[in-house]
Homo-oligomer: A and B are copies of this chain.
């Protein structure tokens, strides 16, 4: 292993000088000739500073940790992507962790807080509030992504209410009146807030919300499937469905397929989250594209600020949800 001493010896200078050159210390002056000689030697010996030593000395790792529930959920891909890009811009590295990981630790975040990261992005949407609150005791800076927990005042969320309204309004504008909503879990902020958007759109158009038309799901294919089955079994099934998540929408499409219903002839379907394969579905799915990439970026941006300046609070809502119209929604022609 090549160390800073090797470089120094080869270049005929003291290790300190090498360190200064590599860290681009502006306050000290270094003769151009020695700087060049040192940089050449660095290349020649293929020297990289030992990160562990740097970390120890500087008491920082330039590494951010991100915790997600599951890599298989396509929603997180884009958040990660945005977070990665922004982290690179800010000179940080990103380490992504899935909660599916087995392992018996003190608590679920111990891997990440033991001097391995400078800060954490928590994007888990399951109800592990207790552990998150405990995380506060560790004094490690962290920020919630797409969720809110009482007592924790650093978070970045989407404008889910607007998204819910957008989806519902779209269906209303197509002439639908019997509009159902497959919600997210009511114990999550996103589930509740998207539902609020739905309610607002319905109310401001003086449409009644039937209890039977509101079916809770758990952001999974299976729960979307059974929710849709219940809707299809109603005496008066809805002519349009707003799915609170892409996974629920996939489940709903499957239920429709099995029941022999076709979309959008038998009912229209719009879903939150414009995944890459949305237009490869049959029919191509109308979606609400959420600014997930931007949320990832903003999360990192604000976390880095939190690390550096000890920001008091971060209450950020990312706007920019937009409707992507595809074939799964259509005008309601005849009364059913």
Q: Please determine whether B48 and A52 come into contact, CB atoms closer than 8 angstroms.
A: no
Q: Please determine whether B78 and A46 come into contact, CB atoms closer than 8 angstroms.
A: no
With both chains docked as a complex, state the minimum distance between the C-beta of A54 and any C-beta of chain B, in angstroms: 8
Contact partner of A48 among B49, B80, B113, B276, CB < 8 A?
B113
Q: Which residues of B contact A93 (CB under 8 A)?
A: 95, 111, 116
Q: Which residues of B contact A78 (CB under 8 A)?
A: 72
Within the oligomer, what is the number of copies of this chain?
Answer: 2
12 pairs from A and B in contact (CB 8 Å cutoff): A48-B114, A71-B76, A71-B77, A71-B80, A71-B81, A84-B97, A85-B102, A89-B103, A93-B95, A95-B96, A251-B280, A257-B283
Question: Does A175 touch B at the CB level, under 8 Å?
Answer: no
Given A72-B78, A85-B100; 8 other pairs, CB 8 A cutoff: A51-B116, A71-B71, A72-B276, A81-B98, A85-B101, A93-B116, A250-B280, A253-B282
Question: Does A335 touch B at the CB level, under 8 Å?
Answer: no
Smallest CB-CB A-B distances: 8 pairs: A250-B280, A52-B55, A88-B103, A51-B115, A71-B77, A52-B56, A72-B77, A282-B282
Q: Which residues of B contact A71 (CB under 8 A)?
A: 71, 76-77, 80-81
With both chains docked as a complex, state the minimum distance between the C-beta of A105 and any C-beta of chain B, in angstroms: 9
Q: Please determine whether A221 and B61 come into contact, CB atoms closer than 8 angstroms.
A: no
A250 and B221 contact, Cβ closer than 8 Å, known pairs A52-B115, A115-B50: no
Considering only CB atoms, which chain B residue lies closest to A117 in the complex? B51
Question: Does A53 touch B at the CB level, under 8 Å?
Answer: yes
With both chains docked as a complex, state the minimum distance between the C-beta of A2 and any C-beta of chain B, in angstroms: 10
Residues in chain A within 8 A of chain B (CB atoms): 1, 46, 48-53, 55-56, 59, 61, 63, 70-72, 74, 76-78, 80-81, 84-85, 88-89, 93, 95-98, 100-103, 110-111, 113-116, 137-138, 221, 225, 247, 250-251, 253-254, 257, 276-277, 279-284
A101 and B116 contact, Cβ closer than 8 Å, known pairs A46-B137, A56-B56: no
Q: Which residues of B contact A111 (CB under 8 A)?
A: 93
Contact partner of A254 among B63, B85, B257, B279, CB < 8 A?
B279
Docked CA distance A253–B119 (Å) = 43
With both chains docked as a complex, state the minimum distance between the C-beta of A97 and any C-beta of chain B, in angstroms: 8
Docked CA distance A49–B80 (Å) = 29
With both chains docked as a complex, state the minimum distance between the C-beta of A156 and any C-beta of chain B, in angstroms: 19
